[in-house]
Amino acid sequence: MTVAAPAPPAPPWHALASEQALQQLHSSVQGLSGGQAADRLRQHGPNRLASVAPPPLWRRIAAQFHNLLIYVLLAAAATTAFMGHWVDAAVILAVVGLNVGIGVLQEGRAEKALDAIRHLLAPQARVWRDGRLHDVDATALVPGDVVALASGDSLPADVRWLQTHHLRVDESALTGESVPVDKSPAASPADAPLGDRCGMGHAGTLVTQGQGLAVVVATGAHTEMGRIGKLLASVEQTTTPLVRHMAVLGRSLTLAVLGAALGLFAFGVLVRGMPMGEVFMTAVGLSVAAIPEGLPAIMSITLAIGVQRMAARHAVVRRLPAVETLGAVTVICSDKTGTLTRNEMTVQQVVLADQTLTVDGAGYAPVGALWHQGHAHQPAELFREAPALLALAEAAALCNDAALHPHDGHWRLSGDPTEGALLTLAMKAGIAPPELQAERPRLGVVPFESEHRYMATAHANGTPGTWTVWVKGAPERLLAMCHQQLQTDGQPAPLDRAHWLQAIEQQAQAGRRVLALARSTVAAGPGLDHTHVAQGLTLIGLVGIIDPPRDEAIRAVARCQAAGIRIKMITGDHAVTASAIAGQLGMGPGLRTLTGPEIEALDDATLQQAVQTVDVFARASPEHKLRLVRALQAQGEVVAMTGDGVNDAPALKQADVGVAMGQKGTEAAKQAGAIVLADDNFASIAQAVEEGRTVYDNLRKTVTFLLPINGGESLSLLVAVLLGLALPIAPVQILWVNMVSSIALAMVLAFEPTERDVMHRAPRPPHEPMLSAFVVWRVLLVSGLFTAGIFGAYQWALQQGHGVEHARTLAVNTLVAMEVCYLFSVRYLKNPSFHWQGVRGTPRVLAAVGAVAVLQSLFTYVPFMQALFHTQALPGVHLALACGIGAAVLVLLELEKAVLRQMRH
């Protein structure tokens, strides 16, 4: 009878000794029997993440129609079709189809993110069954299975290490750690964060070095990866500010149009006693006049133009409304490694016995000087003055398994990032590692092991019968092994332990990872072992290594702060390192830091208060990142979240706009994000924010342009009915203006360049509607001016003895002239337009004005257009009058801007 695996024990697996874990799982180092594995597979299920069937296509399409703006468009299409304008109805329906199509394409992104996580689980595993090693499908793994793993393997499940040999695992996808983590069978404290659990391995992470034997403790949905999948599935997609604001605008327009049309119908029938059929057609004309049919299409085009501009700045937009959302961002939560930093380890300081040198440059490129006491020195000078530096550089080049290669103007690393930093230091010091390694070949090696915490290599030194042994490792370990130190002048001296401990503490406080380098001379032998290493070891010095911030990220942080956007760093790295990088980025003095365990201890209300004052969050797990984003959103913030790992995916999806890394990001992060950075650079986010603000400015200009035109048309119809007069513009002529000249002119506003002060403003309030108080005032003012212009031209023509068709033709041309002049004004909503750039416009503005002039000429003078739209040819003086009225509107609006600017000051 086989024994089923029990439920996981009360203590976490990482807190148990490896033998205890085997006992809890009723397993052994030889693994399970085939029968036990089969029973447990029935109990626990396959080792894979559950998939959820997406909703059927018809339901996704139907959901896109559940939008008030779509209802308004459908009503406009029905109205124009009722009036017999089938072509116009078809155009409006095409706009509806475009909007629905875009929405359907954007659906299902979250399911793709979950699929990306599922594909991270390894397809095969090497497992001990019935006392033999088998290759099995990873979906058949069960708790209690013992698996063998080696360099290059992806972990197929969550495991507890039983045996390790030089084992290192890249856990960056889960923890954000920039370097592989040493693994050993040792137990960890029960409250240890995910990144500090040396005895655990997790599904989806990668073995980069060594071998290990481990027992499976969790499979499928019970793994860390499965837990993240559950978090991702639990996050509901949020709507963007633009979508919310346009929904409010659609509701407002619908209620206004319906109210005005019903009021007009009731007034015409009950008060004026007009025939119901005539009043009904007038109400239909009012509806056509009031609805800005082209607004949704122009909105999509404006967003699409923003997408193109962002792509030129290395930001690839996957969801169209995210373009504008970036412009509304008030907080950017950024991962550290690879986004704010280079993800390339760099030696920043070298500590010798009686000197400390600062090293210029960042990354693996061997560019940068070595500074001492405020002076940059050439390598030859330093070696004359500090022979110990030459010894340290030789140690960095020889006790090293990595390699650096130039490629397309960059340096590529093969091997461990820390060893890459040491090679770069050696090259900055004037040593060519390949030449030195060829000159002094390696004769023996003691590989790095977590229990010894150092690596040693033996090399020929020109003296027969002896080797030089170079050692690098943890500073505390090497201090315990050394009895001498190398003075800067190259002479040995007794070890000053207090000096080195103080130097180690200073480097750690600066957030740097510290390595010690030492050497000894030993008798040549058949090989190198730990006994040789311990003989006569002399400490050469220390190196302080860090993943430095990008120069452009420092500038981008300052730019975002000038724009009123707060930056918060959320990382899986250690608190000291995160704080040091935040300080170098200029995120502010006296930064407060919260760690994962501290976040865990806070309830939601307390966390919401903490996120307002804390800017650095370290050792954060996926749940912590998700809670932090939600806490900020609960405070009314519009949050952008950056990330590259699977652990970032839930927070990327929850954020108002998720920004994934395109080069080093996992597929799960890319699918969860709305924007992907092609260059993994925080500076691209600042540029994208600028484009997002430009998109919103242009959308607001479009709304502020179109609504007064529709308002002027509607008011002129209302005034005509109220006063018992003939309509100054026929419904078919209104449709011509709305669908031709208005759209042609409004379209160019989507291409307007970025205004100079766009990144010197505070973010707009998240709840500020598209129809702000200023926009409403401008709509009312311009609608009144347009109504006066339309009625004035129409009545003037009638008083001059012209017929209704002639008067309406003049009224339409006056309306278009006012539109053209208003376009030059609305390009600068609050700033003056009377300057050379404003008068000249852009090439697109001039092209649009020229196109409208040609279209209006056809509308006015071509016979078949006259028959279709009931127009008549106008003499030149009448066209001049129309242009004069348009110019008068422009002058009045510029005066209004001047008054408002004066009131603000």
- Cβ-contact 486, 388 below 8 angstroms: yes
- Cβ-contact 437, 398 below 8 angstroms: yes
Residue 485 contacts by C-beta under 8 Å, 6 or more apart in sequence?
Answer: 353, 492, 493, 494, 495, 496, 500, 538, 539, 540
205: which 2 tokens?
């992470």
- Evaluated on CA atoms 441, 446, 450, 453, the torsion sign reads negative
What letter represents residue 757's amino acid?
A: D
* DSSP E strands, 511-611: 513-523, 538-546, 566-570, 593-595
579: which 2 tokens?
């704080």
The catalytic site residues sit at 335
**Distance between CA 421 and CA 545 in Å, rounded?**
8
794: which 2 tokens?
């129409």
- Cβ-contact 540, 388 below 8 angstroms: yes
**Distance between CA 307 and CA 697 in Å, rounded?**
15
- Cβ-contact 852, 816 below 8 angstroms: yes
- Cβ-contact 650, 88 below 8 angstroms: no
**Please, which contacts does 831-836 make with residues 24 or more away whose CB atoms are closer than 8 Å?**
831/755, 831/897, 832/894, 832/897, 832/898, 833/890, 833/894, 833/897, 834/894
Angle 523-518-429 (CA atoms, 0-180°, nearest 5)? 115
**Distance between CA 229 and CA 219 in Å, rounded?**
13
Residue 531 contacts by C-beta under 8 Å, 6 or more apart in sequence?
Answer: none
Is residue 126 classed as helix, strand or coil in its secondary structure?
strand
**Distance between CA 156 and CA 142 in Å, rounded?**
11
**Distance between CA 400 and CA 21 in Å, rounded?**
36
Q: Give a three-class secondary structure readout of 335-401.
A: CHHHHHECCCCEEEEEECCCCEEEECCCCCCCCCCEEECCEEECHHHHHHHCHHHHHHHHHHHHCCC
What letter represents residue 346's amino acid?
A: T
Q: Give a three-class secondary structure readout of 480-522.
A: HHCCEEECCCCCEEECCHHHHHHHHHHHHHCCCEEEEEEEEEE
- Cβ-contact 713, 257 below 8 angstroms: no
Residue appearing with tokens 């150092």: 454
Q: Give a three-class secondary structure readout of 190-218.
A: CCCCHHHCCCEECCCCEEEEEEEEEEEEE
**Distance between CA 347 and CA 517 in Å, rounded?**
13
**Distance between CA 903 and CA 892 in Å, rounded?**
17
Count Cβ neighbours within 10 Å for each residue of 126-137 and write b for 16 or more, e otherwise. Answer: ebbbeeeeeebe
**Distance between CA 668 and CA 647 in Å, rounded?**
9
